[in-house]
Amino acid sequence: MEKEILMRNLVRVAIPVTVVAALFALNACAAPTITPSSAPSASASRAITLGPDGYGALKLGLTKEQASATGLAVQISQDPTGGCGDDSDGWLKGAATPTENSVAGRLFFSTSSNKLVAIYAYGEVATPEGLHVGSTASDLRAAYPSWTGDENADGIGSIPIPGNDKAQYRIDIEDKVLVELSLDATDQDCYE
C-alpha cells in the first residue's frame, strides 16, 4: 500500500513538471519578439544634410566629373560645361526626375566656371537645423532668425550660412510653406 501511495504522489508531481518542461521547450523554439526601444527620429532618417558646404561628399565647387564620382548624383552629362540647372547638370540620387517646372533635387553647374554652384533639396533632405521642403515659414524663422524674406509673404529670401561665407541657403515660400530650398555658392552666376 505504501508503494501505491508513493506511485500516486509521484504521478501527481511528474505530470505537472512534465507539462511545465514541455511549455518551456516550446517557448524556447519560438522566434524571439524584438521590440524597438524607440521609433527612429526624423533626423535619424536624414542621413545626409544639405549644408553648410554641400550634400555629403557632393560639395559646392566640384566639377561634373568630381560630382559624379561621389555617387550622390545621377544623370550628370560627360560634357564638362555647366548648364545652370539644365538636364545635363543632373540631380541628386533618389530624387524624382526633375520636370521643366521643378527644381527638386536638381544640380546647377556654372556655365562660366563649370563648377557646382547650387544643390536643390527634395523630399526630406534637410539643413543641419532640420529645415526642409514642407517646413512652415515660422519653422524657418525659428531655425534661421537672419532669413531675409518675409514669412507672411510669398517670395524668395536667403540665409547666410554660419561657418561658410561662400554659401547661402536660398528659400522660396508660398502660402507660408517652404516650397524650394537650395544651397547656393554666393558667387553663383545662374540666377538672381
| One domain for residues 1 and 87 | no
pLDDT exceeds 60 at position 116: yes
User: pLDDT confidence of 79, banded at 50, 70, 90?
Assistant: confident
123 lies in some domain: yes
pLDDT exceeds 80 at position 144: yes
| One domain for residues 22 and 53 | no
Mean residue pLDDT of the chain comes to: 79
| One domain for residues 66 and 93 | yes
| One domain for residues 76 and 8 | no
38 lies in some domain: no
pTM: 0.75
| One domain for residues 118 and 79 | yes
Q: How many whole angstroms from its chain centre is CA 162? A: 21
Q: For the segment 88-115, what is each residue's pLDDT rounded down to a tens digit?
A: 999 999 999 888 888 999 999 999 999 9
Percent of the chain with pLDDT over 90: 54
Cα–Cα distance between 24 and 139 in angstroms, integer? 54
Task: Please give the residue range of the domain that contains residue 130.
Answer: 48-185
Per the model's pLDDT, the better-predicted residue between 46 and 10 turns out to be 46
| One domain for residues 72 and 1 | no
pLDDT value at residue 47: 67
Q: For the segment 14-50, what is each residue's pLDDT rounded down to a tens digit?
A: 444 443 344 344 344 443 332 332 333 343 334 689 9
pLDDT exceeds 90 at position 164: yes
| One domain for residues 177 and 111 | yes
Cα–Cα distance between 38 and 58 in angstroms, integer? 31
| One domain for residues 56 and 1 | no
Cα–Cα distance between 90 and 145 in angstroms, integer? 32
Total domains in the chain come to: 2
| One domain for residues 84 and 115 | yes
191 lies in some domain: no
Cis peptide before 52 (omega within 30 of 0): yes
| One domain for residues 90 and 124 | yes
| One domain for residues 160 and 109 | yes
Span 64-93, mean pLDDT? 92
Percent of the chain with pLDDT over 70: 75
> What is the longest distance spanned by two Cα atoms in the chain?
109
| One domain for residues 64 and 132 | yes
**Exposure string over 147-181, b if 16+ CB within 10 A, otherwise e:** bebeeeeeeebbbebeebeebbbbbbbeeeebebb
174 lies in some domain: yes
